[in-house]
Amino acid sequence: MVDQIMHTGNKPAPTLATTLAFAIVAISITVAFASGQLVTLLLNLGLNTFAAYPEIFVFLVIAVLATIASAMPNSNRLAIVSIAGVMGYIALTYNQDMLIKYLSLAALLFSIGMYGMVVSRNAVRVLMSIELMLNAVNLNLVAFARYVDPVHIRGQIFAIFILTVAAAEAAVGLAIVLAIYRNTSTVDMEKFNLLKW
């Protein structure tokens, strides 16, 4: 029984080659951008539009490469997406203010949560995605409290209220999931379509 609960690694292990190649390319392009050599390279190549916004260029390159790499057979998609996310984030925010770095991170986490909420079939995972989104919002508020309103720190106080609401939401959400499970013996979101005509 427990074996069934903890099914782990019954898929063939993905090969490392694609992932590693992608990681090396993504990291080197980000480092080149951070050290400023990418801009000179782009100018030498005559790509002036991209040289004005090198971070967009890096982001696009990484996104395209990630799509290609994850489409390869036997690649470790999770690792590729993670590396692409981290490197894209670093490239987009490297030359920005501290505030924008925090806000972008929060936006990224929020988008990840939103995507998870849309695509997850497991109701518990949907709840987790919602928690992730709420936390990203909290990060926003605390960053504002630090950089825009350090005297009254209203952002932090608002974040406390969000924390309580998140706790209430999680409690009720889990109880609902539990109740649904009792009626349908599943937590699959696709099967909760009783109200669909």
Partner 1 sequence: MKIDGTVVRGDHFSGNIAEIRKFAVMSLSWLTVIFVAVWGVCWALGIFIPMCLANSSFDFAAILSEVCKALTPIAAVLVFIPINAMFMVLMERRALALFTRRNGPNRVGPDGALQTAADAVKLLLKEDITPTGADALMFTLAPIIFFAPSIFGALPLLAAVTNNHKLFQIVDLPTGIFYVLAASSVPVVGIVMGGWASNNKYSLMGGLRSAAQAISYEIPLVLSLVTICLLAGTLDVVSIAYQQSGGLLNWNILGGGALIGLNKAIAALVSSSGAPFAEVMNAYYPYGWLSFVGAAVLCMCTVILFGVYLIGACAEINRIPFDLPEAESELVSGYNTEYSGIKFAIFFLAEFTNLFIVSTIAVVMFLGSGDCPLPTWLNPLSYPAVYEPLAKALSPVLSVLINDLHLINPPTFWAALWVIFKTYSLIFFAILVRGTLPRFRIDQLMDFGWKRLIPITLVIFVLVAFARGVINFHV
Partner 2 sequence: MEQFELLTNWAQVNVEAFVLYALAIIAIPCAFCVLFDRAIIRSGFFLIGVFGAVCGLFLILQAQFLALAQLMIYTVGITLVVVIALMLTNPRLEKEGVAVEGRERFSGLVIATVFFLTIYCALRSESWPLSSLRMNPENVKQIGAALITTYALPFEFASVLLLAALMGAILLAKAEPKNDVSKIAGEN
Q: Which stretch binds partner 2 (CB under 8 A): 12-20, 21-29, 43-51, 139-147?
A: 139-147
Per the rule left: phi > 0, alpha: psi between -120 and 50, beta: everything else, 5 is: alpha
Task: Rule CB under 8 A: choose which of 25, 121, 192, 194 binds partner 2.
Answer: 121
Stretch that binds partner 2, among 17-25, 39-47, 76-84 (CB under 8 A): 76-84
49 binding partner 2? (CB under 8 A): no
With CB cut-offs between 5 and 8 Å by kind, which of partner 2, partner 1, none does residue 32 bind? none
CA atoms of 84 and 28, how far apart (whole Å): 12
Q: Taking CB under 8 A as the rule, does residue 33 contact partner 2?
A: no
Whether the Cβ atoms of residue 125 and residue 132 lie closer than 8 Å to each other: no
Q: Which is nearer to partner 1, 8 or 35 (CB)?
A: 8
Binding of residue 163 to partner 2 (CB under 8 A): yes
Angle between helices 77-93 and 16-34 (to 10 degrees): 0
Determine the Cα–Cα distance for residues 106 and 62; give it in Å rounded to an integer: 20
Could you say whether residue 177 binds partner 2 (CB under 8 A)? yes
* Rounded Cα–Cα distance for residues 29 and 41 (Å): 11
Q: Minimal distance in Å, beta carbon 78 to partner 1?
A: 12
Provide, rounded to whole angstroms, the least separation between the CB of residue 10 and partner 1.
Answer: 10
User: What is the three-class DSSP state of 169?
Assistant: helix
